[in-house]
Amino acid sequence: MTSPLPGLVERITGRRVLVVGDVILDEYLDGDAARISPEAPVPVLRFAGQQAVLGGAANTAANVSSLGGRATLVGLVGDDAAGAAVRRLCTDAGIQLEALSDGRETTRKVRVVSRQQQLLRIDYETTADMDAPCRARLMRALAPHVASADIVVVSDYAKGLLSSELLEEVRRAAAAAGHAVVVDPRPRHASFYTGCDYLTPNWKEALALIGEGDADPTPDAVRQVGGRVRDRFLAGVLLTLGARGMVFFAKDGSAPIEAAAEAREVFDVSGAGDTVVAAFALALAGGAAPADAVWLANRAAAVVVGKRGTATVTADELARAALLQ
């Protein structure tokens, strides 16, 4: 079968995506943990280096940019060293950043890694709702960005930015501009999402969104859960299933679109959901059919999970991966 990639690349290039959500700085401390501390039964890491990359909503925006789109990112960024790093990395990635601050520190996830094995993660975060003055500034900032975008992505990591009022404003402004809203959801905010155009939960999130406990993603269970999420939120649902691929449930109730996982080697799943939502939203922004948008998201996920840590994927990498199929 002929690959749809060339046509999709043409469609997505230059498309404008507004990403609203929780900005995170992902940091990696690398070294060799070859011995146990005499002070406590824990490994001793001989430090070898560190790296900082964009995470959370910022990783979604970075993937939009690396795939050839034009990304605008709106989120909370502190006036601290981590915030300065976020600003620099956004500039390097070609992301237009609308950074707001209410005095909190920049959200950071610091991972300690030895020989490709994560030993520890340290989170620096404040998850309280943003203060009223910052919320007012955010509301004022949204309208012009929504109007100039081709599609809106809401990347919810439940770190204090998103509220029901914000989602309502995003939906209202997007509807007025004729743009779709794609939400990467968190179950604790399930009450916010009804009326958004698309949701992109993983299996665990999908179960929690409909109040179900743990269950295996058998084919029958996937069809039932995906359909229930679609009906509960009146939205198209791209349900990601890890090694089982992903399934799209259209809002109109038509037959689900299934895509088998294509990864040849899974190195790290960190941030893979950000890549999925970026590729899916870009394709929709370019007018692609849902089946092609799912194909692009699935192919992008297959590439990015073969990389270390939170990462991005490019159109050239997708093309090279297609030659290996």
As given in the structure block, the two tokens for residue 143 are 């309208």
Active site residue 316: no
pLDDT at 16: 98
Residue 266 has a pLDDT of: 53
**Pairwise CA distance, residues 235 & 212, whole Å:** 19
Domain count, the chain: 1
Q: In angstroms, what CA-CA distances link 262 with 8, 149, 295?
A: 18, 31, 10
Which pLDDT tens digit goes with each residue over 92-139?
A: 999 999 999 999 999 999 999 998 889 999 999 999 999 999 999 999
- Domain span at residue 82 reads 5-24+56-108+127-323
The pLDDT value recorded for residue 2 is 63
Q: Out of 150, 184, 274, 292, pick the active-site residue.
A: 274
Q: Is residue 276 part of a domain?
A: yes
Beta bridge partners of 54: 25
Question: Each residue of 159-170: pLDDT tens digit?
Answer: 999 999 999 999
At 32-61, the pLDDT tens digits run 998 999 999 999 999 999 999 999 999 999
- Which is more confidently placed, 295 or 325? 295
135 lies in some domain:
yes
Interior angle at CA 230, CA 248 and CA 147, nearest 5? 85
Could you tell me the CATH number of the domain that includes residue 211?
A: 3.40.1190.20
Query: Rounded to an integer, what distance in angstroms lies between the CA atom of residue 212 and that of residue 225?
Result: 9
Residue 29 inside a domain? The answer is: no
Write down the pLDDT at residue 324.
45
In a domain, 192, yes or no: yes
pLDDT tens per residue across span 216-272: 999 999 999 999 999 999 999 999 998 889 999 999 999 999 998 775 555 446 678
Which pLDDT score, from 0 to 100, does residue 13 have? Answer: 93
- Residue 141, domain member (yes or no): yes
- Roughly how many angstroms between the first and final C-alpha of the chain, as a whole number? 11
On whether the pTM is more than 0.85, the answer is: yes
Transcribe 167-207 into DSSP letters.
HHHHHHHHHHHT--EEEE--GGGGGG-TT-SEE--BHHHHH
Beta strands of 205-284 (E only): which ranges?
236-240, 246-249, 257-259
Helices then strands, counting H and E runs in the chain, come out as: 10, 13
Domain-embedded: residue 50: no
Does 257 fall in a domain? yes
Kindly state whether residue 264 falls inside one of the protein's structural domains: yes
